[in-house]
Amino acid sequence: MIYDSTQKWDAVYDVIVVGFGGAGAGAARFAADNKAKVLLIDAAPEGHEGGNTRYAGGAFAWSDNFDDLREYYKQTYYPFKYDPKDLDTFVNNVLQMKEYAKKYFDIEAQYTGRRPKGEYPEYNHAETMRSQSMTTGMYNGGFWKLLRKKVYERLDQIDIWFSSPAEHLIQDPETKTILGVQIKHNGIKRNVAARNGVVLACGGFENNQDMVQTFLGQGSLAPIGTLYNRGKGIDLAIEAGARLWHMSNYDSHGFSLNEGKPREKFAYMINWKSLFNGSIFVAGDDGTRYYREDEEDRHGYKYNHGNWIMLPNQNHPHIVMDEKQYHQLANDDSAQADQIKQLISYAVKADSLTELAEKIAAPKLTEAVADFNYLVEKQKRDMFLNRKLETMRAFGAGPYYAIPIRHNILHTHGGARRNEKCEVLDLQNNVIPHLYEAGELGDIFATKYVGANSIADLLISGKIAGENAALVKRKLPAVDVVTGASANPELKSDAHALATDYEAGENQGIGISENGINDVPIVVRVTANGKQLTQIETLQQKETPSLGGKAIPVLTKEMLEKQTTDVDVVSGASTTSAAFKEAVKQAINNIQKH
């Protein structure tokens, strides 16, 4: 969208961040810490923001040897090209990730123990890349909540608009500088100016089937993560004249169930060791085998004659098994037993292989089972796919079963080409002024994604992009603002603090009040022993330091001494006092609900 002199702006911020996932949260946080007033927008409604970070395990890459780690990454890139400055910047930052966790989250990151020899142990120095975590447990949303909390601690500097997709970037026709973003907010298109920078952190294109087919060459993939990554960042980048890169790279975890739903079940079944152990295999569209089921999952990349590639997806693959295998799975007692029993409930049943082949439109299924049995009973070796013989058992008598599955997709990596400062580059590899990028949209991974690196990248690129976008640039012509967020309630932040954002243990309750002087809510945690209040902690507040900030400790002491919230307001801080009392009362009520 080209700017002209008649352009009217609805609001002005220092920085606009497009996408409230992990990278966007980091970009907004670090821009705010560098004194920028930030607008953070997301296409998803409140409660569904977070992008793929909401679904991620939360482990990030770490190493203590620059040369070894760089060499390892170069091997994973081969034979693809890479930008040496980008890679060196990334490697240098990976070496500092434990310090990053301590400095910016006050957490001592711990070694996860996962993949101690690296995701590609065949490569030199594979053991140098180790994964660390700041949270307990995996895939429980803890990492996303940690990043989100840092944004909500800065609501005095960061406004958030949910259900507000970016429609266009607004660009100066002469200098190509990005001046702002057109945003569809509450159904109305708003032109919002950005004095210093716009950060694109809106994820990939897993949920855009046209882009999946065009860039990945795959017919249909089942998204594992967010349903809001629809490729808008690609459109915005192209609109601004950016060069694209890494468009064919994506990762997955093999298969999901095929019910034809936007997000399918059992996305991590390829890791269930007891599932593919016996008279069972994965059949392609024609019923023949094409996929080594017992191979270690490498984010979907499969061994292929000395290399690892993402296999072309089949349009309607199935897991096929005989009666003995079906009963084996029905009586499974592994950690995934409940999921396995649910999975086999979706099986199509037939008395013969011929009948099953007709039901699932797999004409070579009977032949494929005969070949499978030949390998097990005669050859004693799977010379085609190299599955371990001890995981294979010849098919026996029917009935036979087939479970419809789909290849899945975790996230894509393509986007605008960025430099080591997270500045977006144009077709001549020149910087597009004031435009930045962070996260999986256009990240530095050309191929062979390695686990824990997207989390490292979103932390690293989010910080770099946010800090650089916040830098005060050359003074732009005065913008014509129709109205500001302070004058128009429709443009105010949508952000609200929730009790679930904060930890509360036994005999504890969280209370929140948004009625203080500052836009940032007052958040308290109260601990009680029976009816006795033993502790009142202020977890968050940005009240005026000289008034409200001094009033809160006074109120806390008095409430604990008198064992009641019915205490006098502090003179000169009546608004803060009332809000603090409201938060404490709410916390006490929440204790009583336990």
Task: Express each pLDDT in 424-468 by its tens digit.
Answer: 999 999 999 999 999 999 999 999 999 999 999 999 999 999 999
C-alpha closest to that of 316 among 344, 339, 287: 287
Which pair of structure tokens corresponds to residue 394? 């010849």
Which pair of structure tokens corresponds to residue 485? 């967020």
DSSP assignment string, 371-390 = HHHHIIIII-S-TTT---GG
What dihedral do alpha carbons 345, 346, 347, 349 form, nearest 10°? 80
Spatial separation of the C-alpha atoms in residues 342 and 323, rounded to whole Å: 17
Taken in order 51, 55, 57, 58, the sign of the CA dihedral is positive
Domains of the chain: 11-52+139-249+411-489 (3.50.50.60), 257-407 (3.90.700.10), 499-592 (3.90.1010.20)
- Give the pLDDT score at 335: 92
Q: Which residue has the higher pLDDT, 81 or 402?
A: 402
The Cα-based distances of 325 to 228, 321, 329, 382 in angstroms read 38, 6, 6, 19
Which pair of structure tokens corresponds to residue 188? 């109305």
C-alpha closest to that of 33 among 148, 142, 192, 153: 153
Whether residue 334 has pLDDT greater than 50: yes
Which residues on adjacent β-strands are paired with residue 481?
A: 9
pLDDT confidence tier of residue 503, bands split at 50, 70 and 90? confident
- Give the pLDDT score at 483: 47
Which letter does DSSP use for residue 203 in this model? -
Which residues on adjacent β-strands are paired with residue 400?
A: 322, 350
Q: Write phi, then psi, for 186 (nearest 5 degrees).
A: 55, 40
Spatial separation of the C-alpha atoms in residues 471 and 493, rounded to whole Å: 23
Runs of H (alpha helix) within 412-452: none
Runs of H (alpha helix) within 135-294: 142-152, 209-211, 232-239
* pLDDT, averaged across the chain: 93
Helices (H) and strands (E) in the chain, counts: 14, 26
Task: Express each pLDDT in 142-166 by its tens digit.
Answer: 899 899 999 999 999 999 999 999 9
Runs of H (alpha helix) within 180-318: 209-211, 232-239
Peptide bond into 545 cis (omega under 30): no
C-alpha closest to that of 197 among 474, 488, 491: 474
- Give the pLDDT score at 486: 47
Are 142 and 58 within 8 A, CB to CB? yes
In this structure, how many other beta carbons lie within 10 angstroms of the beta carbon of residue 263? 16
pLDDT confidence tier of residue 487, bands split at 50, 70 and 90? low
Q: Which residue has the higher pLDDT, 55 or 370?
A: 370
Taken in order 423, 428, 430, 432, the sign of the CA dihedral is negative
Task: Express each pLDDT in 559-590 by its tens digit.
Answer: 999 999 999 988 878 889 999 999 999 999 99
Which pair of structure tokens corresponds to residue 282? 């994965």
Task: Express each pLDDT in 531-554 by its tens digit.
Answer: 899 999 999 887 878 778 889 999
Residue with tokens 């760089």: 70
Residue 84 class from Cβ within 10 Å (0-12 exposed, 13-18 middle, 19+ buried)?
exposed
Are 468 and 35 within 8 A, CB to CB? no
Overall average pLDDT of the 492-512 stretch: 84
Q: Write phi, then psi, for 368 (nearest 5 degrees).
A: -65, -40
Helices 66-77 + 84-94 axis angle, to 10: 130
Which residues on adjacent β-strands are paired with residue 524?
A: 511, 538
Spatial separation of the C-alpha atoms in residues 416 and 425, rounded to whole Å: 7
DSSP assignment string, 460-476 = HHHHHHHHHHHS--SPP
Overall average pLDDT of the 307-336 stretch: 96
SS3 content of the chain, % helix, strand, coil (to 5): 30, 25, 45
